[in-house]
Structures are given as C-alpha cells and as structure tokens.
Chain A
C-alpha cells in the first residue's frame, strides 16, 4: 500500500476541519475526492503536503511504509509526494529553470542519483516539455510571474512530470480552467499515469474526472468520507448534487 490514512483529524486556528478521515491508496490507483465547499478537501491536501498552518490532532498517515506526519514538507516531496496547488504561487526573480533544477536534484539526491548539471537538466526538461506539449520558453520565465491561471496550473503539472513522484495530489487543479487548459492538464496527468504512480484528485466538479477516469470516488463532507464508490458515483453527484448523499448520511 502506498498511502494509508487512519482517523485523520486536523484543525486550523482551533477550528476542527478534518474529523476522522480514512483512505487507502494502492500503487497505480487514481482516487477522486469530491465534496461541497468547506468540506475539508483542500485541508486534506494541505495536511498531506505538510503545510504548517494545520495542526494534526489525531490519527496517522503512513506513506510508503513511513510516518508521513513526522516529515518536513521538503522531505515528503523528496520521498515522492507531490502537491499540485489550487493557487500556484508567484516567485518574482526566481527562474523556473533554477527552481526546478534545484528541486530535481534534491529529489535525485534522496534517490542516491548524481545531480544533473545545467546541460543534462536542459535536455531532461525538454523531454518533459515535449511530452506535455508545453511552450519552450517556460523554463526561462520567473516562477508563475505573469502567468495566466491556466499557465500556472500547467506549470505545476510540468513540475510533477520533472519530479516523477509516487503520489500526486491535485488540489482543485481544474478550478477556473477553460476547456483547452483543462484538456492540457488532463493529458498531462494521463501521460504520467503508470502502475507505480498513484493520484488523488481533489475536485468540486466532475469535468476533470471525465478525462482522467478515476478508479475510486469518495465524497468528503464535514471532515469525513461519507461515501465511496467507483466512477459511477461521480456521475451520480453531477446529476443530483451533494444534497441527496448528505441527507442520506445525516439520516443514518
């Protein structure tokens, strides 16, 4: 098993957001986590990535056999956990190239591989740019500065391709994307799918899932997963909204 989350509870500013979340992810699986606004979707993604604002109060997260919650954010990334941000951050003056060369070499160091020099990195990055059909000048620009919303998210997918993680978490990557940008992101994800690599796709809507076709769909509500199923569950949510499932859950 790649990821095992048991009874995860977390709060921010003393407000309880996650209230006992359980999920298991095997290598190669694609899971979607859906839910209404405020259900805790982004909190879950942030807690997995190690954002300090959130305090884990209960539960455990095992990642590839290790205690994830004990690790710094950078250690999680080096061990193969990747978060595609809901709002990728602009960093003026830092070039994408320097940023990603540093990041790739940090991950390579963890794997016991030699660092890539400028020329090797350029070649490696070019392959990924071609794979994802992205613009060649991407590397020369400052990280996300002057990028459109769609470009920022594509840049995150590009980073994902470079770092070759074991577990990719997409935090509402589809929000605000037009159909063309959505397709680029979805193609990127599909190009990176493999038997070893798993995905958790956090989303409010079904439209990204139509392209990605997850193996499992979970409904998150009030800090807990209240229903799990296959891809058909996403269709049901798209048709009927969350209300039926929530009412059914509250009735139990």
Chain B
C-alpha cells in the first residue's frame, strides 16, 4: 500500500531527498552514495511518521515539517567560543560543530591513549569495509524513520574503537554544538568496545547561542554501540539545545555475554526531543541500566523510549525514567522489555515516575512486557502525580519558604536516576544542569 502524505509532509520529504542528492553530487565516495540512495528509496516510501503511526501519536511533527533545515555550511569556532560548554573534569575531548567533526577543537586524535582510536566518519569513506560496517544493523535501523533519514543524509560523525582489555580511565567528552539557525546536524556515530574493554562516554548537545528563544536547529543522531563480551560501557547524554530546536536520537546497542551497559539520558532542551535506545542483550549474564531524567516546560514535548531484548539466560536490566513537567509540556515514555524463550532467569525492572507541576502538563506513558520464557522476574510500573502537599508543609514547618520547599522536593525527584552514574564529577555536572533548568 502506498502511503499518503499531506502537502507539508511531502514538501519536507522532497526537501531532504534533494539534500541527499546534493550530497551525492558534491561527492564523494561510492560507499556513502550507495548507502544514501538505498535509504532514500526507503525514506520516500515510509516518509515522516504521522499521528496515525502508533509510536508517534503523542510526539507531533506538525511544526517540525514546516521548517526545511539546511545541511551546508561549516562554521569556524575558537576554543574560547566553546569554553562555557566544557566540563571542569578531565576528559578526552571531541567537538562536533553542526554535525561535523572539528579537528581544531578536538584533542589530537593521533595522540590518544593506547588502545583507543577515534576518527571522523567522513575521513573513513574510502575504507572499503565501511559500507558493510554501517550496514551491519540495517534491519533495525530501517524500522526507524529518523534513522533512515540519517542514513540518507550520511555525512559525518565519530567512529570510536576501544581495543581488547583496554580500560580507558579518562571519560570521552563529546560536545555537539549547533551554531546556525535552521541547520541540520546529521550525526552517525559508531562505538566498538572490544572484549573486556571499558569506556565512559559523555555526550552534550548544546546550542552556541544558549537559550535563544527563536533559534531552531534540527539534530538527528544514530549511534551504534557494539559491546563485546565482558566489556563495560558507561554513557551520559545531556540534551539542552535551544528551546525551539528538534532532537532525535536513535541508539542501537548490542551487548555480548557478561558485558555491562549503563546509560543516562538527561533532557531539558528543544521544542521536541525524542531519545530512543534499541538494546539487544545477546549473551548470558549481561547487565544493563537505562535511566532518564527529563524536565520540560512551556510547549515542549520530551519523549524517551527504550526497547530492550533479553535474548540469553540470566540477564539483568534495570530502568528508571523520571519526568518533571511544567507549563503545557507533554512527556512521553514508551518502554518495551522483550524476553526471548531462551532467556530464562531474566531479571528486568522498568519504572516510570512523573511529577506534574501544572494543570496543563500532560504525561503519556506505556510500559510493556513481552515474555516468552517461564522462569523470569520482570516488572514494570508507572506513576504520575502532583507534588505532595504534605511534603511541602513538612519543609515549611521547619522554616523553609514554600517556593524553596517545592524546588527541593522537585529537584530530589528528578535527580534520582542520576544515582546510577558512578563518576561523582560527571553526576554533579548533570545534576547542576538539571537544577539550573528547574530554577529557570
């Protein structure tokens, strides 16, 4: 059946298809061209999701398709420009400007610690195997409309490899900075962590002009993370783009036996943001933690979702997703834990808790379990409520003004998912960003 699209959606689709053609003309390299063209065929069939698409009922794209974001342009920034966005803790630094790797602002890639290699994806186009590498998880990727769009506009990203037994002590800090209004940052990242290796990855999505009301950027990310047996990956993502921006991130994560994956998504920015983990636990005794802490106000929509497959025995997965919604904000959570028949002794916990600070704020939540094994311990829960007046009064009765009491309770609520971030400095850094957003 051929899908029908409204004129606005059709115009947006044509615009991005044109961008893809422009990239191919300008270029470049047969590997990328081939990938883009296959994706384009798929994209033109599938298009942008509409409200009738089940997974998009609460995350509306009506306004998003009105603006046709551009892909060209490379802005030059000085270190002093990005200084305010850099953390105080020591880290290896990667800087992506409007989706393009910045050689001048990133650490020298030829001098990385032993066992770690990072390259800009655009510099890898000539490598014969790159086509295969980027096509490895095609099956999963092509189900996600924004991931298909990402492949159609394949341009840059980072490609990180951590070799066997290498435990990188320094976190890798990736600054994704948008500088130009109306610009699309199309990022395709790939992280390969080999057997028994370890890495901590921090990704920060910001806008150069900070909180400028009118600035609207579009960030579309696909990140593939392959975690080999016994390897450990910790990840923190902080999204605080300018309030009229759009953010879509699809993470495809594959875990080998006895590996651990711990990811936190913290979100305060963008008009519409949608962050999704697609996690496959493909070995025995795998551990995964997926948390999110989202704050939205005004007319923001914040959407965080997880898809978790337990495919082998004795897997442990834990999730805590917390939302604080003010103004007319809309929060969306969708989580699915799928336990395959082989995955006996699975322990999967998924919890979603939401605090509404205004009468107009709205939360749509859908935690789901699909279990084909008979000896498992799985649970999901969701609770949405308003601030507890008894708690507020308790603090007031000790001399704390009401507004401050509400702030303390709200902050404590929102920061709970951060407790699984083991690095103190990184946890504090995320906590500060969330607190600042809560305090306006």
Could you mark each residue 299-340 of chain B with 1 if its beta carbon is under 8 Å from any beta carbon of chain A, else 0? Answer: 000000000000000000000000000000000000000000
Q: In the complex the two chains form, is A93's CB within 8 Å of B399's CB?
A: no
Report if A77-B397 is in contact (Cβ < 8 Å); known contacts: A89-B390, A91-B391.
yes
Give the complex CA separation of A91 and B396 in angstroms: 13
Q: In the complex the two chains form, is B413's CB within 8 Å of A103's CB?
A: no
Q: In the complex the two chains form, is B398's CB within 8 Å of A159's CB?
A: yes
Chain A residue with the shortest CB-CB distance to B413: A93
Give the complex CA separation of A213 and B393 in angstroms: 30
Chain A residue with the shortest CB-CB distance to B414: A93
Q: In the complex the two chains form, is B412's CB within 8 Å of A91's CB?
A: yes
Q: In the complex the two chains form, is B404's CB within 8 Å of A73's CB?
A: no
Stretch at the interface among A36-44, A94-102, A240-248: A94-102
Interfacial chain B residues near A99, Cβ < 8 Å: 395, 398, 400, 408
Interfacial chain B residues near A82, Cβ < 8 Å: 397
Report if A51-B393 is in contact (Cβ < 8 Å); known contacts: A94-B408, A98-B408.
yes
Contact of A110 with B by CB under 8 A: yes
* Most chain A Cβ neighbours within 10 Å, of B408, B413, B415: B408
Contact of A201 with B by CB under 8 A: no
Q: In the complex the two chains form, is A78's CB within 8 Å of B416's CB?
A: no
Q: In the complex the two chains form, is B396's CB within 8 Å of A72's CB?
A: yes
Q: In the complex the two chains form, is A74's CB within 8 Å of B416's CB?
A: no
A151-198 interface (Cβ within 8 A of B): 159, 163
Shortest Cβ distance from A20 into chain B, in angstroms?
25
B390-440 interface (Cβ within 8 A of A): 390-391, 393-402, 404-405, 408-409, 411-413, 415-416
Interfacial chain B residues near A138, Cβ < 8 Å: none
Interfacial chain B residues near A142, Cβ < 8 Å: 412
Give the complex CA separation of A50 and B395 in angstroms: 12
Contact of A107 with B by CB under 8 A: yes
Q: In the complex the two chains form, is A78's CB within 8 Å of B409's CB?
A: no
Q: In the complex the two chains form, is A74's CB within 8 Å of B391's CB?
A: no
Chain A residue with the shortest CB-CB distance to B403: A74
Contact of A231 with B by CB under 8 A: no
Interfacial chain A residues near B388, Cβ < 8 Å: 89
Give the complex CA separation of A208 and B351 in angstroms: 43
Contact of A28 with B by CB under 8 A: no
Q: In the complex the two chains form, is B404's CB within 8 Å of A102's CB?
A: yes
Shortest Cβ distance from B184 into chain A, in angstroms?
38
Shortest Cβ distance from B147 into chain A, in angstroms?
35
Give the complex CA separation of A141 and B93 in angstroms: 36
B367-401 interface (Cβ within 8 A of A): 388-391, 393-401
Shortest Cβ distance from B194 into chain A, in angstroms?
37
Interfacial chain B residues near A21, Cβ < 8 Å: none
Chain A residue with the shortest CB-CB distance to B398: A103
Q: In the complex the two chains form, is B393's CB within 8 Å of A73's CB?
A: yes
Shortest Cβ distance from B51 into chain A, in angstroms?
36
Could you mark each residue 83-123 of chain B with 1 if its beta carbon is under 8 Å from any beta carbon of chain A, else 0? Answer: 00000000000000000000000000000000000000000
Chain B residue with the shortest CB-CB distance to A102: B400
Interfacial chain A residues near B396, Cβ < 8 Å: 50, 72-74, 77
Interfacial chain A residues near B404, Cβ < 8 Å: 102
- Choose one: A51, A72, A76, A91; the contact of B409 (CB below 8 Å): A91
Interfacial chain B residues near A139, Cβ < 8 Å: none
* Most chain B Cβ neighbours within 10 Å, of A49, A76, A102: A102
A83-122 interface (Cβ within 8 A of B): 83, 85, 88-94, 98-100, 102-103, 106-107, 110
Shortest Cβ distance from B230 into chain A, in angstroms?
33
Report if A93-B390 is in contact (Cβ < 8 Å); known contacts: A72-B396, A159-B398.
no
Give the complex CA separation of A106 and B405 in angstroms: 12
Interfacial chain B residues near A51, Cβ < 8 Å: 393
Shortest Cβ distance from A131 into chain B, in angstroms?
19
Give the complex CA separation of A72 and B401 in angstroms: 9
Shortest Cβ distance from B393 into chain A, in angstroms?
6
Return the 6 tightest CB-CB contacts between A and B, nearest first.
A93-B412, A106-B399, A77-B399, A103-B398, A73-B396, A89-B394
Interface residues of B (CB under 8 A from A): 388-391, 393-402, 404-405, 408-409, 411-413, 415-416
Other than the given A83-B397, A92-B416, 11 more pairs (CB < 8 A) read A50-B396, A52-B393, A73-B396, A73-B402, A85-B397, A89-B391, A90-B391, A93-B415, A100-B398, A102-B408, A107-B399
A-B contact pairs, 5 of them (CB 8 A): A77-B399, A82-B397, A94-B408, A163-B398, A163-B399
Interface residues of A (CB under 8 A from B): 49-52, 72-74, 76-78, 82-83, 85, 88-94, 98-100, 102-103, 106-107, 110, 142-143, 159, 163
